[in-house]
Structure 1
Amino acid sequence: NKIHFDYKKHENDHLAATFCGSTIPAPFISSGNFLTVQFVSDLTLEREGFNATYTFVDMPCGGTYNATWTPQNTSSPYVSNQSVPLSTCTWVIEAPPHQQVKITVWALQLHAQDCAQNYLEVQDLPEGDERVHFCGRNLTALPEFYSSTSTAMVVFKSEVLNSNSRVSFTYQIADCNRQYNRAFGNLKSPGWPDNYNDNLDCTIILTAPQNHAITLFFHSFDIEDSSNCAHDFLEVRNGSSRNSPLLGKYCGTLQPNPIFSQNNELYLQFKSNNIISSHGYEIIWASSPSGCGGTLYGDSGSFTSPGYPSTYPNNTHCEWTLITPAGRPVTVSFYFISIDDPGDCVQNYLILYNGPNATSPSSGPYCGAVSTANTFRFPLVILKS
Structure 2
Amino acid sequence: MSGGVREFYSIYLFVAPELLVAYIHFFFQLYDGNNENANLAGTFCGSTVPAPFLSTHNSLTVKFITDNSVEREGFNATYTTVDRPCGGIYNATSTSLTATSPNFPNEYPPFTLCTWVIDAPPHQQVRVVVEAFHLHSGQDCSRNYLELQDSPTHSQGLVHRFCGTETFPVPEFYSHDRTAIVTFKSDEYMINNGKQLHVSGFLSQGCSREYNQPFGYLKSPGWPGHHPNNMDCSIILRAPMNHTISLFFHAFSLEDSIQCSHDFLEVRNGSDVQSPLLGRFCGNTVPSPIFPQNHVVYIHFKSDFSGAHDGYEITWTSSSTGCGGTLYGVTGSFASPNYPATYHNNTDCEWAITAPKGRIVTVNFDFISIDDPGDCSSNYLILYNGPDASYPPAGFIQIRIKSEIAKKWPLSYNHLHR
Tell me whether the two structures share a fold, i.e. TM-score over 0.5: yes
Q: What corresponds to 1:255 in structure 2?
A: 286
Quote the offset at 1:202 in angstroms: 0.8
In the alignment, which of 154, 159, 180 is matched to residue 182 of structure 2?
154
Please tell me whether the aligned partners of residues 125 and 205 of structure 2 are also in contact (alpha carbons under 8 angstroms): yes
Q: What corresponds to 1:344 in structure 2?
A: 375
Q: What corresponds to 2:114 in structure 1?
A: 89
Q: What corresponds to 2:69 in structure 1?
A: none
> Map of 1:200-219 to 2, 5 A cutoff?
200-219=231-250
In the alignment, which of 44, 55, 58 is matched to residue 29 of structure 1?
55
Q: Deviations over 1:140-193 (max 9, x none)?
A: xx999341423433346799xxxx989574421442111111111001111212
1:84–1:317 distance in 2 versus 1, CA, 3 Å? closer
Please tell me whether the aligned partners of residues 116 and 183 of structure 2 are also in contact (alpha carbons under 8 angstroms): yes
- Supply the AA of the counterpart residue of 2:118: I
CA–CA separation in structure 1 for the residues paired with 2:284 and 2:239: 28
Q: What corresponds to 2:148 in structure 1?
A: 123
1:130–1:260 distance in 2 versus 1, CA, 3 Å? farther
In the alignment, which of 365, 378, 383 is matched to residue 334 of structure 1?
365
Q: Deviations over 1:306-357 (max 9, x none)?
A: 2222222211111110111124111212243211112411111011111112
Please tell me whether the aligned partners of residues 254 and 311 of structure 2 are also in contact (alpha carbons under 8 angstroms): yes
Please tell me whether the aligned partners of residues 148 and 161 of structure 2 are also in contact (alpha carbons under 8 angstroms): yes
Q: What corresponds to 2:7 in structure 1?
A: none
Q: What corresponds to 1:58 in structure 2?
A: 83
Q: Report which stretch shifted further, 124-133 or 209-218.
A: 124-133
Q: What corresponds to 1:175 in structure 2?
A: 206
Q: What secondary structure is seen at the aligned counterpart in 1 of 2:259?
A: helix
Q: What secondary structure is seen at the aligned counterpart in 2 of 1:234?
A: strand
5+ unaligned residues in a row in structure 1: which ranges? 8-14, 40-50, 136-141, 363-375
CA–CA separation in structure 2 for the residues paired with 1:298 and 1:210: 23
> Map of 1:1-385 to 2, 5 A cutoff?
19=42, 26-30=52-56, 57-67=82-92, 70-71=94-95, 73=97, 87-95=112-120, 99-103=124-128, 121=146, 123-125=148-150, 128=158, 145-150=172-177, 151-155=179-183, 169-360=200-391, 379-385=397-403
Identical residues among aligned pairs (%): 48
Quote the offset at 1:304 in angstroms: 1.3
CA–CA separation in structure 2 for the residues paired with 1:97 and 1:116: 41
Quote the offset at 1:248 in angstroms: 0.3
Please tell me whether the aligned partners of residues 90 and 119 of structure 2 are also in contact (alpha carbons under 8 angstroms): yes
1:377–1:56 distance in 2 versus 1, CA, 3 Å? closer
Looking at CA atoms only, which structure, 1 or 2, has the larger radius of gyration? 2
CA–CA separation in structure 2 for the residues paired with 1:344 and 1:270: 46
RMSD: 4.5
CA–CA separation in structure 2 for the residues paired with 1:355 and 1:79: 35
CA–CA separation in structure 2 for the residues paired with 1:181 and 1:85: 31
5+ unaligned residues in a row in structure 2: which ranges? 1-28, 64-74, 404-418
Please tell me whether the aligned partners of residues 240 and 267 of structure 1 are also in contact (alpha carbons under 8 angstroms): yes
Quote the offset at 1:34 in angstroms: 9.4
Quote the offset at 1:291 in angstroms: 1.6
Quote the offset at 1:359 in angstroms: 3.8
Count of residues in Structure 1 that have an aligned counterpart in Structure 2: 333
CA–CA separation in structure 2 for the residues paired with 1:170 and 1:70: 9
CA–CA separation in structure 1 for the residues paired with 2:264 and 2:59: 48
- Supply the AA of the counterpart residue of 2:54: F
CA–CA separation in structure 2 for the residues paired with 1:120 and 1:174: 29
